[in-house]
A and B are shown apart, each in its own frame.
Chain A
Amino acid sequence: DAGITQSPRHKVTETGTPVTLRCHQTENHRYMYWYRQDPGHGLRLIHYSYGVKDTDKGEVSDGYSVSRSKTEDFLLTLESATSSQTSVYFCAISGRDSEAFFGQGTRLTVV
C-alpha cells in the first residue's frame, strides 16, 4: 500500500465548529489532493497541492481551506462545519502524470 495515512478515521462534530483533517504521506509525491465522496456523486475535488505552500481550489472548495507546510502533510480545514459537509473525505497523492493513490478515508458527521 502507498504510504498515506489519514487522521482521524471517524469524527462527529457539531455545526459551527472548526474541524481539521490530516493527510500524511511517506512517498515524497509532489501532488496531494482532498476529495469528498457522497452517494450518487463521483469523487469531487475540494483542494489540491502541487508543492509546499502551493495550493489551489477544486470544484467544491467553498467552506474549506487547506495548508501544506511540509511535503508530507496536507491539512484540510472546515472553517465552520455544516451538515452539508457530512461526507467521506479522501486524501490522494500522485506524481504529475501518474496514477493517484488514496488513503483509507475519514468519515465526518456534522450534527
Chain B
Amino acid sequence: EVQVTQSPEALRLQEGESSSLNCSYTVSGLRGLFWYRQDPGKGPEFLFTLYSAGEEKEKERLKATLTKKESFLHITAPKPEDSATYLCAVQAGSNYQLIWGAGTKLIIKP
C-alpha cells in the first residue's frame, strides 16, 4: 500500500529563517512526486514535479529535492507571503492516480 507522510504538521518561522519540509513515501515504482501549495479557501496550486532520485527543482525561494524514500521542500529566506499549506503527492506503478499527504501548514511571521 502506498503511504505518503508529511512532516511537520505545522511550522512557524520568522521571516528570513530558512527551513525544510519533508515528504516521505513507501512505494515501489515511483513515477512522479508532486509538490503543491494551497492557500486558505483555494484549490492546490502546482509547484514542482520530481521524477527520479537526485533530481532538484527551484522556483524563487523554494527548492525541491528527491531521494528514493523522501522529498524535501527547502525554503530559503521565506517571506510572509510564503505562508500556506504545502502538499505532496506521489504517482506510482501502473496507477496514475495521485496519493496525497496531509500537508504541512507553514506560517511565516514578519
Stretch at the interface among A65-73, A79-87, A99-107: A99-107
Chain B interface residue count, CB cutoff 8 Å, equals: 22
Q: Is the CB of B100 within 8 A of A100?
A: no
Closest to B97 in A: A45
The size bracket of the interface on A is 20 to 34
What is the interface of chain A mostly: helix, strand, loop, or mixed? loop
Q: Is the CB of B4 within 8 A of A96?
A: no
B29 within 8 A of A: no
Q: Is the CB of B43 within 8 A of A103?
A: yes
- Known A-B contacts A42-B102, A48-B97; A99 and B49 likewise in contact (beta carbons under 8 Å): yes
B44 within 8 A of A: yes
- Known A-B contacts A43-B87, A102-B43, A105-B43; A96 and B102 likewise in contact (beta carbons under 8 Å): no
Output the least CB separation between A33 and chain B (Å): 8
Interface residues of B in 75-105 (CB under 8 A from A): 87, 89, 91, 96-103
State A102–B43 Cα separation when bound (angstroms): 6
